[in-house]
């Protein structure tokens, strides 16, 4: 089993490349399509995925794609199933396996659903070619959150999920997302993120999850979106790396950030800045959804005649993020 997991990590953790999150649920895909005035039908969701996943040079910058269940069974315009389209360009197909969020307390905190029946779903997904998985837990920042109760439960669930995924011969992406929404300071975010990550790695250890075959998808340490005087690029990079160094063991091969509501330019600049801080103990890259797809979505507008321009916009963003993984991006490339 270890040889299988090692091979998956080798294919996913590649210098200059990162992971694309294209696992928007039907509801979230609907929001993205609504932003360009397109109706949320199954066919339009397929066309949206076709636009992104068949962009020329896709495999040059993207080593893995997190898909949503429906996309595993969809075909590109060429007639090829999407997981096979990815394999052909050397990109590893993966799948979101959590089943969304559920509110659990009076503070409106949420836990993630999906442990029930996970083993059977994993076997099914494996047959379609998926080789890695993702599970997302979320945390809000306020006077009273994230609560110790939520930090503990999400950590335990992430660890159970990761254990099960490895037992089924796939690599788990563990995604604890401290949300950017709110007026909180970067100090509050640093404190919350440290607590969350510490609990996650304690739980992974307790479940004997093999860290060398696990990928972490964290949020950055950043000021709340509505905060006054938000921290600058350097500070975000420094604080993020400081927290990660204090909480993430060196055996973990790769950290791939989510974008979480940052603009595409911010997400690229933050990642780039982290690579200017000297050598890092893990590969540090991206696993963005919005920050990679937004420019392409805007250029596409659901129209066939815009396909080439939209794919060009996607690849431009992917290329800049690829450069950021090496600290070689600069603002004037925008």
Judged by CB, which is closer to ligand 13P: 188, or 293?
Answer: 293
Integer Cα distance of 216 and 135 in angstroms: 10
Residue 321 touching ligand 13P (CB under 6 A) = no
Integer Cα distance of 42 and 44 in angstroms: 6
Specify the 3-state DSSP secondary structure of 130: coil
Residue 58 touching ligand 13P (CB under 6 A) = no
Active site residue 106: no
Q: How far is the CB of 286 from ligand 13P (least distance, A)?
A: 8
Residue 288 touching ligand 13P (CB under 6 A) = yes
User: What is the chain's percent helix, strand, coil content, to nearest 5?
Assistant: 50, 15, 35
Specify the 3-state DSSP secondary structure of 38: coil
Integer Cα distance of 119 and 126 in angstroms: 11
Integer Cα distance of 87 and 315 in angstroms: 18
Of 24, 69, 109, 175, which one is the catalytic site residue? 175
Give the count of residues interacting with ligand 13P (CB under 6 A): 10
Residue 164 touching ligand 13P (CB under 6 A) = no
Kindly list the strands in the beta sheet with 254-257, ordered across the sheet, starting from the edge strand earlier in the chain.
18-22, 62-67, 92-96, 132-139, 171-178, 215-216, 254-257, 283-286
Residue 21 touching ligand 13P (CB under 6 A) = yes
Residue 162 touching ligand 13P (CB under 6 A) = no
DSSP string over 248-306? S-TT--EEEE--TT--HHHHHHHHHHHTTSS--SSEEEE--SHHHHHHHHHHHTT-GGG
Judged by CB, which is closer to ligand 13P: 136, or 184?
Answer: 136
The residue assigned the tokens 């636009």 is 51
Residue 32 touching ligand 13P (CB under 6 A) = no
Residue 172 touching ligand 13P (CB under 6 A) = no
Of 69, 217, 273, 294, which one is the catalytic site residue? 217
Judged by CB, which is closer to ligand 13P: 292, or 307?
Answer: 292
Strands 101-103 and 110-112: antiparallel
Residue 81 touching ligand 13P (CB under 6 A) = no
Per CB under 6 A, the segment of 50-58, 233-241, 257-265, 326-334 that binds ligand 13P is 257-265
Judged by CB, which is closer to ligand 13P: 18, or 260?
Answer: 260
Residue 195 tokens read as 């607590």
Binding mask 260-279 for ligand 13P (x = CB under 6 A): x-------------------
The residue assigned the tokens 């129209």 is 303
Per CB under 6 A, the segment of 38-46, 111-119, 181-189, 285-293 that binds ligand 13P is 285-293
Active site residue 245: no
Identify the residue among 290, 307, 315, 320 touching ligand 13P (CB under 6 A): 290
Neighbours of 265 (CB within 10 A): 15
Residue 166 tokens read as 């490895």
Identify the residue among 291, 297, 313, 318 touching ligand 13P (CB under 6 A): 291
Q: Give the binding site for ligand 13P (CB under 6 A).
A: 21, 136, 175, 258-260, 288-291
Residues annotated as catalytic are: 175, 217
């Amino acid at each position: 089993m270890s040889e299988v997991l090692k091979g998956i990590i080798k294919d996913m953790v590649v210098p200059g490349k990162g992971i694309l999150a294209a696992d928007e649920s039907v509801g979230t895909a609907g929001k993205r399509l609504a932003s360009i005035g397109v109706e949320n039908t199954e066919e339009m969701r397929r066309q949206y995925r076709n636009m992104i996943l068949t962009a020329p040079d896709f495999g040059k910058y993207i080593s893995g794609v997190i898909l949503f269940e429906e996309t595993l069974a969809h075909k590109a315009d060429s007639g090829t199933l999407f997981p096979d389209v990815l394999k052909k360009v050397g990109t590893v197909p993966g799948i979101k396996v959590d089943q969304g969020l559920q509110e659990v307390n009076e503070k409106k905190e949420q836990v993630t659903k999906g442990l029930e029946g996970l083993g059977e779903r994993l076997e099914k997904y494996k047959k379609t070619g998926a080789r890695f998985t993702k599970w997302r837990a979320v945390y809000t920042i306020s006077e009273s959150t994230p609560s110790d109760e939520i930090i503990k439960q999400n950590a335990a669930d992430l660890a159970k999920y990761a254990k099960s995924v490895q037992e089924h011969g796939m690599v788990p992406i563990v995604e604890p997302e401290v949300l950017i929404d709110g007026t909180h300071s970067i100090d509050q975010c640093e404190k919350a993120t440290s607590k969350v990550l510490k609990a996650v790695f304690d739980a992974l250890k307790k479940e004997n999850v093999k860290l060398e075959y696990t990928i972490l998808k964290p949020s950055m340490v950043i000021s709340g979106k509505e905060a006054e005087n938000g921290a600058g690029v350097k500070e975000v990079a420094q604080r993020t790396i400081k927290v990660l160094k204090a909480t993430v063991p060196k055996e973990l091969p790769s950290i791939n950030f989510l974008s979480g509501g940052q603009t595409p330019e911010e997400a690229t600049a933050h990642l780039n800045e982290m690579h200017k801080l000297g050598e890092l103990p893990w590969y540090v890259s991206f696993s963005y959804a919005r920050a990679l797809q937004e420019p392409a979505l805007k250029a596409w507008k659901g129209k066939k005649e815009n396909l080439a321009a939209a794919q060009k916009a996607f690849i431009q963003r992917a290329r800049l993020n690829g450069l950021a993984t090496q600290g070689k991006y600069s603002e004037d490339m925008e």
